[in-house]
A and B are shown apart, each in its own frame.
Chain A
Amino acid sequence: MVKVYVPCDSTALSLGANKTADAIIAEAKKRGLEIELIRNGSRGLFWLEPMVEVTTSQGRVAYAPVLPKDVPSLFDADFLTGGAHPLNLGLTEELAWLKKQQRLTFARVGITDPISLEDYLAHDGYQGLQNALKLSGAEIVKTVTDSGLRGRGGAAFPTGIKWNTVLGCEATQKYIVCNADEGDSGTYSDRMIMEDDPYVLIEGMTIAGIAVGATQGYIYLRSEYPHALKALNTAIARAEQAGYLGDNICGSGKAFHLEVRRAAGAYVCGEETSLLESLEGKRGLVRFKPPLPAIEGLFGKPTVVNNVISLASVPIILDKGAQYYADYGMGRSRGTLPIQLAGNLKQTGLVELAFGATLRTLLYDFGGGSATGRPIRAVQVGGPLGAFLPESQFDTPLDYEEFTKIWAVLGHGGIVAFDDTVDMAKMARYAFEFCAIESCGKCTPCRIGSTRGVEVIDKIVANKGSPEHSKTIQLARDLSDTMLNGSLCALGGMTPYPVLSALNHFGEDFGIMK
Chain B
Amino acid sequence: MTIALTPQEHAKIEAHIQAHKNKAGALLPLLHAIQDDISYVPEAAYLPISKALALSVAEVHGVVTFYHHFRTHPAGKHILQVCRAESCQAMGSEKLEAHIKATLGIDYHQTTADGAITLEPVYCLGNCACSPAVMMDDEVYGRMNAEKVAALVKEARCA
Contacts and interface: CB of A to CB of B under 8 A. Distances in A.
Interface of A: 10-11, 13-15, 46-47, 49, 182-188, 190-191, 222-227, 261-267, 278-284, 299, 340-344, 348-350, 371, 380, 384, 414, 416-419, 422, 427, 430, 434, 437-438
A14 B31 contact: no
Given A281-B63, A343-B90, A14 B130 contact: yes
Interface string B16-52: 0000000011111101100000000000000000000
B142 A14 contact: yes
A343 B87 contact: yes
A178 to B, nearest CB: 15
Contacts of A49: 130
B76 to A, nearest CB: 18
A140 to B, nearest CB: 26
A266 B68 contact: yes
A263 B81 CA distance: 17
B127 interface: yes
Contact of A349 (B69, B124, B129): B129
A414 B128 contact: yes
Interface of B: 24-29, 31-32, 53, 59, 62-63, 66-70, 81, 85-91, 122-131, 133, 135, 138-143
B9 to A, nearest CB: 21
A344 B29 contact: no
Contact of B128 (A222, A299, A343): A343
Contacts of B140: 10-11, 13-14
A114 to B, nearest CB: 15
Contacts of B126: 10-11, 182, 187-188, 190-191, 222, 224-225
Nearest to A10: B140
Consensus secondary structure, chain A interface: mixed
Contacts of A380: 86
Given A188-B129, A224-B126, A266-B69, 19 more contacts: A10-B127, A11-B129, A11-B142, A49-B130, A182-B124, A188-B127, A224-B122, A226-B138, A261-B25, A262-B28, A264-B67, A279-B25, A282-B59, A341-B129, A348-B130, A384-B85, A384-B123, A430-B86, A434-B123
Given A185-B87, A416-B87, A264 B70 contact: yes
A220 B135 CA distance: 21
A7 to B, nearest CB: 13
Contact of A261 (B28, B53, B62, B139): B28
Contacts of A262: 28-29, 32
16 contacts: A10-B126, A11-B127, A15-B142, A15-B143, A182-B126, A183-B123, A185-B123, A224-B122, A262-B28, A263-B69, A264-B70, A282-B63, A283-B66, A284-B66, A343-B91, A427-B86
Contacts of B29: 261-262
Nearest to B128: A342
B85 A185 contact: yes
Nearest to A15: B142
B68 A14 contact: no
Given A279-B25, A343-B87, A184 B68 contact: no
B63 A283 contact: yes
A416 B68 CA distance: 24
Contacts of B67: 264-266, 284
Contact of B133 (A14, A225, A282): A14
A266 B67 CA distance: 6
Contacts of B63: 281-283
B28 A264 contact: yes
B131 A343 contact: yes
A299 B86 contact: no
B128 A187 contact: yes
A340 B86 contact: no
Max count, chain B CB within 10 A of own CB: residue among A281, A348, A350: A281
Nearest to B26: A281
B90 A422 contact: yes
Nearest to B55: A281
Nearest to A260: B29
Of B63, B68, B126, most buried by chain A (CB within 10 Å of CB) is B126
Contact of B129 (A266, A284, A348): A348
B129 A267 contact: no
Nearest to B125: A224
Nearest to B133: A14
Nearest to B139: A13
Nearest to A45: B129
A414 B125 CA distance: 14
A416 B85 CA distance: 11
Nearest to B63: A283
> Considering residues B27, B142, B143, which has the most beta carbons from chain A within 10 angstroms of its beta carbon?
B142
B87 A342 contact: yes
Given A13-B140, A261-B28, A47 B129 contact: yes
Contacts of A186: 85-87, 124, 128
